[in-house]
């Protein structure tokens, strides 16, 4: 017999992994080996618009995990399966082969994944295999934070007020109290031929259809090195060290080398300055942990615990006040939980439906040229182009920029938000259905607790606020690298022509009025 842990794309870690820890405890109790496996599913990646960067990141992390788990004598077997329709049958064959008494997995809340898991459960119904699904992605699982009459929230602020008390650990067993780790298998597992095979099977080099060119692979690997240790160091850097450089471009968040740790979070640490500086894009102000959180290389619970440590653990209460850097950051982690809760409670948002059905008929422009220019960073609006080129280069974009380019696509160019949502998944390394859909529906004013439809960001004033030095634009839009002063935010037409930089397609004020008119009267042009 064996106990099996099924690792997925959102829980790629050993530390503080609840399904893995529970599987390990079960294996210890039953005195049987613990095995781990991961199934690559190329058709799912196509269906879910997964970026090649993300798939490459998955493979790089699987290699790290295989090595770390082998130290615990736990084999991690990576395999691939097509078509995705028969993945449950394939998994149940594997389980039979391994004589699995128990299978543990962390829940993925998206609709296709839930259907897949239900099907696997149906297939093993008559066997002796028990399935255990565990909530792990969020700090607080979906369904726990409810109104007094037991319903889910759809507005962030009351949800946050209700979420916060759950962060106070109730017992020593509370997931927020301690980070569990799996126990090692006995060494004798290596002698068994079936397990030996699993230890020996290598992680595939690539997934067909999701390969990166050598240049791109090198660049993305520099920006986002794999592994739990890396994620931990990035967290430490954010919590305990000061910002030194602008960190523009293709550098890893860790590339600064040793930075003197600062113990007092209220002083000059990145998190200490986060409250005031987080919306700046020309300086390195945010944690850059999203690729690691999205793939579960670090847990959101661990991030919250680390902020508790910062307050010396005296208060035992997580600071979530808007007035401190720590509090602001906790609130951002909270947005991640919030959007995942929404996907779990209102699955229609992951099926391309607006949360607010009244906006289902807003009239969109079909303009391939505008869409292409937006994707390529050629709209003629410098801040939009800089951000879109940052996404192409690094597979990542700052939050303020995500909001700015999303609003620009949806409200200035009047292009359907779903096309932007899809493109983000295709290009970003941190693509996460819940956060991405939440961010797009917020910007498109169709979501839960969205920007009101008449709120239309002015990209030029956003640019001046987020990039006051203009260095972000100059870095990512080399045509404008030599433009000094505020003209970099909105170069006069003659200058733009001279520099070979495009002119904008629309005038912001006219576009704003068109957007408001169309949102007011869905169905009308």
Residues that bind ligand FAD (CB under 6 A): 278, 286-290, 293-294, 332-333, 335-336, 339, 398-399, 402-403, 406, 424, 428, 430-432, 435-436, 438-440, 443
Q: Choose among 202, 180, 181, 205: nearest CA to 75.
A: 202
Annotated ligand binding at 319? The verdict is: no
* Residues in the chain, overall count: 525
Residues facing residue 100 across a β-bridge: 2
Provide Rg for the chain, Cα atoms.
24
Least gap, CB of 396 to ligand FAD (angstroms): 7
Which residue's CB is nearer to ligand FAD, number 44 or number 479?
44
Which residue's CB is nearer to ligand FAD, number 142 or number 439?
439
Question: Could you count the other beta carbons within 10 Å of the beta carbon of residue 348?
Answer: 12
Annotated ligand binding at 430? The verdict is: yes
Least gap, CB of 290 to ligand FAD (angstroms): 3
Least gap, CB of 443 to ligand FAD (angstroms): 5
CA distances from 319 to 145, 155, 275, 446 (A): 18, 21, 13, 31
Annotated ligand binding at 337? The verdict is: yes
Annotated ligand binding at 447? The verdict is: no
Which residue's CB is nearer to ligand FAD, number 75 or number 253?
253
Which residue's CB is nearer to ligand FAD, number 76 or number 407?
407
Least gap, CB of 436 to ligand FAD (angstroms): 3
Q: Rounded to an integer, what distance in angstroms lies between the CA atom of residue 522 and that of residue 525?
A: 8
Least gap, CB of 334 to ligand FAD (angstroms): 8
SS3 state of residue 326 = helix
Least gap, CB of 340 to ligand FAD (angstroms): 9
Annotated ligand binding at 288? The verdict is: yes
Sheet holding 130-134, edge to edge: 76-80, 34-40, 2-6, 100-106, 130-134
Annotated ligand binding at 431? The verdict is: yes
CA distances from 92 to 88, 99, 116, 137 (A): 6, 10, 12, 24
Question: Is residue 3 within a helix (H) or strand (E), and if so which, with residue range?
Answer: strand 2-6
Annotated ligand binding at 290? The verdict is: yes
Least gap, CB of 421 to ligand FAD (angstroms): 8
Q: Which residues are identified as catalytic?
A: 332, 335, 364, 399, 417, 440
**Closest CB to ligand FAD: residue number:** 439
Annotated ligand binding at 284? The verdict is: no
Which residue's CB is nearer to ligand FAD, number 5 or number 224?
224
Alpha helices in 353-507 (DSSP H): 368-376, 382-394, 399-407, 417-427, 433-443, 459-466, 471-476, 493-499
| DSSP string covering 84-135 | GGGHHHHHHHHHHHTTEEEEEEE---SHHHHHHHHHHHHHTTTSSPEEEEE-
Q: Are 342 and 433 within 8 A, CB to CB?
A: no
Which residue's CB is nearer to ligand FAD, number 270 or number 370?
270
Which residue's CB is nearer to ligand FAD, number 182 or number 296?
296
Q: Are 66 and 201 within 8 A, CB to CB?
A: no
Q: Choose among 384, 399, 405: nearest CA to 480.
A: 384
Question: Could you count the other beta carbons within 10 Å of the beta carbon of residue 42?
Answer: 18
Residue numbers belonging to the annotated binding site: 274, 286-290, 329, 332-339, 430-432
Residue numbers belonging to the annotated binding site for FAD: 274, 286-290, 329, 332-339, 430-432
């Amino acid at each position: 017999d064996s106990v099996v842990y099924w690792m997925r794309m959102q829980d790629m870690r050993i530390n503080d992994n609840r399904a893995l820890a529970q599987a390990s405890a079960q294996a210890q109790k039953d005195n049987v080996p613990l095995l781990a496996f991961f199934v690559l599913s190329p058709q799912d990646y196509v269906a879910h618009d997964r970026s090649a960067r993300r798939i490459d990141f998955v493979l790089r992390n699987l290699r790290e995990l295989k090595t770390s788990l082998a130290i615990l004598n736990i084999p991690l077997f990576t395999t691939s399966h097509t078509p995705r329709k028969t993945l449950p049958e394939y998994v149940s064959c594997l389980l039979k082969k391994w004589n699995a008494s128990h299978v543990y997995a962390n829940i993925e809340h998206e609709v296709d994944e839930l259907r897949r898991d239900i099907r696997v459960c149906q297939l093993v119904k008559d066997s002796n295999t028990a399935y255990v699904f565990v909530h792990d992605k969020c700090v607080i699982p979906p369904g726990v934070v409810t109104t007094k009459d037991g319903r889910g929230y759809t507005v962030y602020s009351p949800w946050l007020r209700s979420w916060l008390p759950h962060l106070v650990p109730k017992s020593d067993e509370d997931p927020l109290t301690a980070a569990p780790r799996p126990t090692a298998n006995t060494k004798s597992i290596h002698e068994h031929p079936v397990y030996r095979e699993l230890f020996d099977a290598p992680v595939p080099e690539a997934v067909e259809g999701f390969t990166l060119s050598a240049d791109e692979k090198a660049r993305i690997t520099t920006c986002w090195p794999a592994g739990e240790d890396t994620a931990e160091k990035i967290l430490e850097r954010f919590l305990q060290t000061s910002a030194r450089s602008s960190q523009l471009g293709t550098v890893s968040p860790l590339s600064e080398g040793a930075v003197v740790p600062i113990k007092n979070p209220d002083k000059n640490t990145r998190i200490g300055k986060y409250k005031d500086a987080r919306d700046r894009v020309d300086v390195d102000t945010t944690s850059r942990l999203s690729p690691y959180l999205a793939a579960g290389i670090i847990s959101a619970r661990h991030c919250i615990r680390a902020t508790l440590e910062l307050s010396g653990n005296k208060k035992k209460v997580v600071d979530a006040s808007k007035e401190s850097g720590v509090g602001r950051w906790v609130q951002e982690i909270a947005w991640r939980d919030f959007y995942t809760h929404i996907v779990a409670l209102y699955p229609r948002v992951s099926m391309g439906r607006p949360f607010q059905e009244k906006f289902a008929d807003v009239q969109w422009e079909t303009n391939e040229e505008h869409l292409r220019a937006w994707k390529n960073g050629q709209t003629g609006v410098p801040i939009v182009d800089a951000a879109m080129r940052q996404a192409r280069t690094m597979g990542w974009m700052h939050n303020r920029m995500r909001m700015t380019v999303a609003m620009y696509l949806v409200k200035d160019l009047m292009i359907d938000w779903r096309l932007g949502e899809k493109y983000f998944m295709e290009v970003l390394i941190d693509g996460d259905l819940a956060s991405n859909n939440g961010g797009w529906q917020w910007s498109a004013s169709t979501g839960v607790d969205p920007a009101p439809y008449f709120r239309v960001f002015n990209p030029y004033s956003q640019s001046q606020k987020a990039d006051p030095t203009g260095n972000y634009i100059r870095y990512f839009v080399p045509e404008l690298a030599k433009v000094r002063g505020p003209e970099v935010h909105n170069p006069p037409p003659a200058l733009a022509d001279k520099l070979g930089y495009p002119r904008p397609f629309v005038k912001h004020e006219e576009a704003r009025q068109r957007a408001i008119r169309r949102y007011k009267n869905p169905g009308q042009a």
